[in-house]
Amino acid sequence: DTAVSQTPKYLVTQMGNDKSIKCEQNLGHDTMYWYKQDSKKFLKIMFSYNNKELIINETVPNRFSPKSPDKAHLNLHINSLELGDSAVYFCASRKGGSPLHFGNGTRLTVT
Amino acid sequence: QKEVEQDPGPLSVPEGAIVSLNCTYSNSAFQYFMWYRQYSRKGPELLMYTYSSGNKEDGRFTAQVDKSSKYISLFIRDSQPSDSATYLCAMSLGGSGNTGKLIFGQGTTLQVKP
């Protein structure tokens, strides 16, 4: 299947832990994104990588660190998790100026 | 004030009804306008994508953009229970500002009752 796929789908962890979310796309896209959706379903961009280069870095705590090992992969590492980090994190990708394709999200719950 | 305002609903209609969803925005530099549909526990799925002002039709869906009023709409004709979802409007800058940074509305939850 051609898609943007994220792992894990669900992540439950305790405050203070460090966790990673992985994203892979097999659409041949050159730009990948992380978006965060809060409990009110409001979606906001966090980061964007184009061909392994960071091009968008919104006002996000530096506990969040994205890494793109290649054009098809974008990971998100979160240090010292806080209650307020609980949200759904969506990976997305696109080619050139075309619309974004989103994955199905990683639902993070911090207890 | 948010850059993009969207009535969160919920909106409940009977099957077969015409549904009108709307967003207003404040940034006149927005050039690309999108509607995404999001089912529960899924990612946003692109429904309509338009550049600048005008109308675009795709099957039962029609998107309208009125840049002079900073207002966009999505119409769904002959609504079906399978249309029950959250509808998100999104917009972005044009030209070199078209980086994929989308500004989303809050989403409108739609329920179509059989």
Distance CA B90, CA B23 (A): 9
Under 8 Å between Cβ of B2 and B102: no
Token couple for B74: 């999505």
Point out the residues of chain A with pLDDT beneath 50. none
How many pairs of residues across A and B have Cβ atoms under 8 Å apart? 56
Hey, what amino acid is at B99? T
Interface contact A105-B8, CB threshold 8 A? no
Which of B36, B88, B100, B96 minimizes the C-alpha distance to A74? B100
* pLDDT value for A2: 62
The CA distance from B49 to the nearest CA of chain A, in Å, is: 7
Q: What residues contact residue A3 under an 8 Å CB cut-off, 6+ apart?
A: A25, A26, A27, A103
Q: What residues contact residue A39 under an 8 Å CB cut-off, 6+ apart?
A: A86, A87
Token couple for A109: 């719950």
Mean pLDDT value of segment B25-37:
95
Chain A residues in contact with B40 (beta carbon < 8 A) = none
Interface contact B102-A43, CB threshold 8 A? yes
A72 in reach of chain B (CB within 8 A)? no
Considering chain B, what is the average pLDDT of its residues? Answer: 94
Under 8 Å between Cβ of B72 and B89: yes
Q: Tell me the per-residue pLDDT of B64-110, one tens digit each, with 9 for 90 and over.
A: 999 999 999 999 999 999 999 999 999 999 887 788 899 999 999 99
The answer, yes or no, to whether residue B54 has pLDDT greater than 90, is: no
Hey, what amino acid is at B51? Y
Length of chain A as a residue count: 111
A41: region left, alpha or beta (phi > 0 left; psi from -120 to 50 alpha): left
Tell which B residues from 49 to 88 touch A, by Cβ distance under 8 Å. Answer: 49, 86, 88
Which of A44, A46, A42, A11 minimizes the C-alpha distance to A32? A46
Under 8 Å between Cβ of A54 and A67: no
